[in-house]
Structure 1
Amino acid sequence: MLFKGVIHHMQENVLIGGYTKQTSQGIYQLQFNSQTAQLTPAKLAVKLQGPTYFAVSNEHILYTVVQDGEQGGLAAYDMKNNFAYLGSALQPKNSPAYVEVSDKRQLVFSANFHTGIVTIHQIQADKTLAITDQIQLTGHSIRPEQEESHPHMAHLAPDGNLVICDYGSDKVFTYSIDDAGKATKMGEFTAPAGSAPRHLVFNPQHPDIAYCICELASIVLVLNYHDGQFEQLQSYPLLPDNYNEDNTAAAIRISADGQFLYTSNRGHNSIVSFKVSASGQSLEHLQTIKTQGDFPRDFDFDLTGQYLLVPHQKSNDVTIFKRNLETGYLTFINNDTQVPEGTCIVFY
């Protein structure tokens, strides 16, 4: 079992950002104490418009989604130098919904829900971004929200291929990425009609198994993966049978040991967890626990893996759960900390 013995990281840094439609001014920095399970009050770290998603490189460069007037894209900040602004890679129209850093490849990927474009950027010597390729997706599906392609994730698979979840077309695409940062299509998987694949994680113990959360159907799919091709093995519901109100599934995370899978529901306002089978190929429902806040879009484990923190987009607070490393069970600790409009959380 991982995380046995001495747990370091007593004082952990956390960034939480989101929409800036009401009271939020950008990305907030907090400290989390993994011994007392307490968060410090939020301090504004970066003032900017609409940082709904961001990622941190190993060199502590923050790459965040940003909206700048009529343009949207990614901005880079040096966290070691008091979040000094380094530069932006902007394009016309709305900002992306997702960003991911590959330190190994020195690439940054963004997925633009609004324009259907996935952009590949190379990290330059000065840590700013240069666009190397763009993938314009096309397609649609059966629901009114799926009138065109809406990529919601561009995630590097363990084998180095780029996996794109397209909410709009119910497709999961795979592309190979060459050393120059150019993409070549390898395959496409079709999820159940109207399900809207949103995010996906690979099992750290079984790189040939992935779990895909589908936003509109509120399900999680277990997928087999081989050489750029996905195949569905199982599907599991994220809502109780008797729940008939609006819900959109959002984030999915897997524990470092590959034994437990966690998902979030917006509307039902819950975290649904599963025990992962030894083969990784099936799931067993473990727990559905209310987050005691409104609209939990993103969540993540702290650095020790002993806690799970959930910001809320609508109730403007952060819920702290204690996580049992042996059983995977979550226990509510508190939601005393205020952070406005939170849709993304990153520990570092």
Structure 2
Amino acid sequence: GESKGIYQFSFDTRTGKAGKVSLAAETPEPSFLAIHPDGKHVVAVNETSEWEGLENSGGISAFEIDSKTGELILMNQQPTRGAHPCHLVIDSSGKTVLVANYTGGSVIGYSILDDGCLGEASAFVQHKGSSVLKPRQASPHAHSINIDPTGQFAVAADLGMDQVLVYKFDAAKGTLVANKPTGKKVAAGAGPRHFSFHPNGRFGYVINEINLTVTAFAWNGKSGTFKEIQTISTLPPGEKPGKGMSTAEVRVGKRGRFLFGSNRGHDTIVSYKIDRKTGKLTYVGNYSTGGKTPRNFGLDPSGRFLLSENQDSGTIHVLKINRKTGELD
């Protein structure tokens, strides 16, 4: 059936066993969420094109976690001033949340108050540009927003512009100002979607939705600049993308030794070994997600399990990570 909102379940990090799923909060189209650093609050986007009578806007909702039941208590909501917000990040101080609006092609920041409520908007940037694949890339589509390990820069992957944009981020004020240079282009028609920094702060990886690749970058945390290292397919060597295939999520593993990415349509997780000196990726393998359309996946806190979230089969499939080889089982 149709989703009613945000769901919760228990997970045993020793065995990889998941418990019963239950509804945590009813809320419209919560396609992406983040847990606050205090562990007591959650912020989620509401991926809509209209918000409380405001056209071309989605919403963002702040919740308090009930420590006994795990249910979410709605604190307050704000408009995102751009349609279909699809990704967000909370800074390490817990004082700002940044949101990417996909159809709106923009990013917005909101302050987070001491009680976990959303405050005033602290930043808004409208992207401008397009790329080669029309109509898909006829306008900007901000697909994700991340903060670098220094906490001084924010990085937005824009699928419509084929560009990874860099902003100077002021954590105290929650503001965003375009960096110089403004970012880095990827191959025309690649469609950058999600991004993951290496914990050592020297590398970053963008997964390209349209051409099913990952681009590895060297990252300079002082100047906020990228240098491309390589681009590698997310499919098995020699295999070409089939109709209806696209990538979705990318995440560096807990210890920074491996990188994982999800393939929709192919319905696999790809694993690469990371050279921690150069940032270069070496293909390990592709592993079944046990369901259809892995729009996202998470890594458990122990770094031993990968949880594939399969949108079109409505399931979560648990894979065990071999921490020596990067293979999944």
Is the structural similarity TM-score above 0.5? yes
**Runs of 5+ consecutive residues of structure 2 not aligned to the other structure:** none
Give the counterpart of 2:306 among 305, 308, 319.
Answer: 308
**3-state SS of paired residue (1:135):** strand
Contact 2:82–2:101 (Cα < 8 Å) also in 1: no
Moved over 6 A (4+): none
State whether structure 2 residue 125 is matched by structure 1 residue 135.
yes
- Offset at residue 233 of structure 1 (A): 1.3
Sequence identity, in percent? Answer: 28
State whether structure 2 residue 113 is matched by structure 1 residue 124.
yes
Query: Partners of 1:245 and 1:177 in 2: how far apart?
Result: 39
Give the counterpart of 1:185 among 174, 178, 181.
Answer: 178
- Cα 1:100–1:278 change in 2 (3 A) is closer
The equivalent of 1:272 in structure 2 is 270
The equivalent of 2:26 in structure 1 is 47
TM superposition score normalised by structure 2: 0.90
Q: State the Cα deviation string for residues 109-162 of structure 1 (Å, max 9, x = none).
A: 000001011001111233222211100001100012111000011110112201
Which structure 2 residues correspond to residues 27-106 of structure 1 after superposition, within 5 A?
A: 27-59=6-38, 60-66=40-46, 67=48, 68=51, 70=53, 71-80=57-66, 82-91=71-80, 94-104=83-93, 106=95
- Cα 1:37–1:281 change in 2 (3 A) is closer
Query: Partners of 2:52 and 2:215 in 1: how far apart?
Result: 38
The equivalent of 1:211 in structure 2 is 205
State whether structure 2 residue 186 is matched by structure 1 residue 197.
no
- Offset at residue 289 of structure 1 (A): 0.9
- Cα 1:328–1:149 change in 2 (3 A) is same
Contact 1:98–1:152 (Cα < 8 Å) also in 2: yes
**3-state SS of paired residue (2:85):** coil
Query: Partners of 2:277 and 2:14 in 1: how far apart?
Result: 33
Query: Partners of 1:156 and 1:242 in 2: how far apart?
Result: 33
The equivalent of 1:341 in structure 2 is none
Q: State the Cα deviation string for residues 190-212 of structure 1 (Å, max 9, x = none).
A: 1110001111111113x121111
Query: Partners of 2:225 and 2:15 in 1: how far apart?
Result: 45
TM superposition score normalised by structure 1: 0.85
Q: Which has the higher contact order (CA 8 A, sep 6+)?
A: 1
Query: Partners of 1:78 and 1:61 in 2: how far apart?
Result: 4
Which structure 2 residues correspond to residues 252-331 of structure 1 after superposition, within 5 A?
A: 252-331=250-329
Query: Partners of 2:98 and 2:295 in 1: how far apart?
Result: 20
Alignment: residue pair count: 309
State whether structure 2 residue 161 is matched by structure 1 residue 169.
yes
**3-state SS of paired residue (2:14):** coil
Query: Partners of 2:31 and 2:62 in 1: how far apart?
Result: 14
Contact 1:203–1:280 (Cα < 8 Å) also in 2: no
Which structure 2 residues correspond to residues 15-26 of structure 1 after superposition, within 5 A?
A: 22-26=1-5
Query: Partners of 1:283 and 1:91 in 2: how far apart?
Result: 36
State whether structure 2 residue 262 is matched by structure 1 residue 239.
no
Query: Partners of 1:316 and 1:259 in 2: how far apart?
Result: 30
Q: State the Cα deviation string for residues 247-267 of structure 1 (Å, max 9, x = none).
A: 111100111211100000001
- Offset at residue 93 of structure 1 (A): 5.7
Query: Partners of 2:239 and 2:146 in 1: how far apart?
Result: 34
- Offset at residue 69 of structure 1 (A): 5.1
